[in-house]
Structure 1
């Protein structure tokens, strides 16, 4: 649906309110109640036009800090909230190696460097995410059906209607406290499949200062890329 020259992707679901999101790629999406007609949706989005433009302007400003990474000596890559340099070496290595606060990659593997970095982040996130889930699922009294680390395009994580919880491999780039927030956020969706006040109260019970992690993602999320 196009409103004031903005192409907005509409997602209807069993919800009571309209929520508008600026996705990480700058696209705009709106989640709306199924019962609303196209005309009613258009009127609501028109009324929220100022907020949409304000959020888009903010997204543009934040994305001025986007990082274009190259797989060369000295290039920095994020891991658990900190930047570490890459060193290309002559010897054969088994993928990307991280030791002594440095990433190492064999020169002969440079042509598939992105693929190997993604595998590194997936492996590391898989090793770190499950203990965090075990900790918070007991506090929240929930049990996810399946947990997967995968490519999620413009989302850090997702919770499906059948109880599956998915995490973007890029989450391995975030600090541990931010990773804890992402886990709590998704597990809370097993209780409230929305972003109502009740949902945020659930998150707040576990992480009273979660707004600090939200702000970190808002400012630094654009740099969590390859």
Structure 2
């Protein structure tokens, strides 16, 4: 009896100056093939075909994890994450800042919710995480960079879509504001992961060996992010 050949899923190809090709399942469920500039489309198809079982297994895991995504409401008592801990929300009538974290609670200006535009409340959280994230992540990058022997040229915290972090060709690091919802140990893993890309652009054994040198328990942190990443949202 002949085995049924699995259908090749849709995928995106990103070519860059790298030596090997690898396949990544992004946080939004997209399949991305990162490949050297010289690799032909036909060769990429062969690479995808050789990894079909891995792709479909990880897509199934992604769907399971995202089925439990938390939808938060902007009302008093709702929990919002900061550095891995959940803080209850309290709507307040008057406050100079749109959002503050004080006395063990997030306090959000009530008018941002009563306007009926939930994006105003979401923006308040994003801006809070960006501001606190820049300060905290910059210090941790400064701490880990010498250990990895990397010399980043700058740090930015912003909206990165489906990526937790990225590095520009000029060596400027960017981190997703949602990183600030994770525990500090996970933020440190994301930082070390990105710094190690200064030496290896792909995710070969050599790259993970570099991560292991600085963070021997990185596998636990990587798994935590895989399982809990979908819940890091406002």
Give the TM-score of the pair, scaled to structure 2: 0.91
Question: How far apart are residue 75 of structure 1 and its match?
Answer: 1.4
Q: Which residue of 1 aligns with 2:51?
A: 48
Deviates more, 1:10-19 or 1:23-32: 10-19
- Provide the secondary structure at the position in 2 that maps to 1:161: coil
Partners in 2 of 1:118 and 1:76 — Cα distance? 15
Question: How far apart are residue 5 of structure 1 and its match?
Answer: 5.5
Question: How far apart are residue 223 of structure 1 and its match?
Answer: 0.5
- Match for residue 158 of structure 1 among 138, 163, 166: 166
Q: Which residue of 1 aligns with 2:91?
A: 88
Deviates more, 1:15-24 or 1:63-72: 15-24
- Match for residue 188 of structure 1 among 181, 193, 196: 196
Whether 1:107 and 2:110 are equivalent positions in the alignment is yes
Whether 1:207 and 2:215 are equivalent positions in the alignment is yes
Partners in 1 of 2:224 and 2:19 — Cα distance? 29
For these two proteins, the number of residue pairs brought into alignment is 224
- Gaps (5+ residues) in structure 1? none
Asked whether the equivalents of residues 93 and 105 of structure 1 are also in contact (C-alpha less than 8 Å), the reply is no
- Match for residue 57 of structure 1 among 57, 60, 83: 60
Q: Deviations over 1:154-173 (max 9, x none)?
A: 01001122211111111100
Partners in 1 of 2:47 and 2:190 — Cα distance? 30
Counterparts of 1:1-226 in structure 2 under 5 Å?
4=7, 6-110=9-113, 111=117, 112-226=120-234
Question: How far apart are residue 68 of structure 1 and its match?
Answer: 1.1
Partners in 2 of 1:116 and 1:99 — Cα distance? 15
Give the TM-score of the pair, scaled to structure 1: 0.94
Deviates more, 1:66-75 or 1:4-13: 4-13
- Provide the secondary structure at the position in 2 that maps to 1:65: coil
- Gaps (5+ residues) in structure 2? 1-5
Partners in 2 of 1:60 and 1:178 — Cα distance? 22
Asked whether the equivalents of residues 12 and 31 of structure 2 are also in contact (C-alpha less than 8 Å), the reply is yes
Asked whether the equivalents of residues 92 and 108 of structure 1 are also in contact (C-alpha less than 8 Å), the reply is no
- Provide the secondary structure at the position in 1 that maps to 2:18: coil
- Provide the secondary structure at the position in 1 that maps to 2:67: helix
Indicate the RMSD between aligned Cα atoms, in angstroms.
1.5
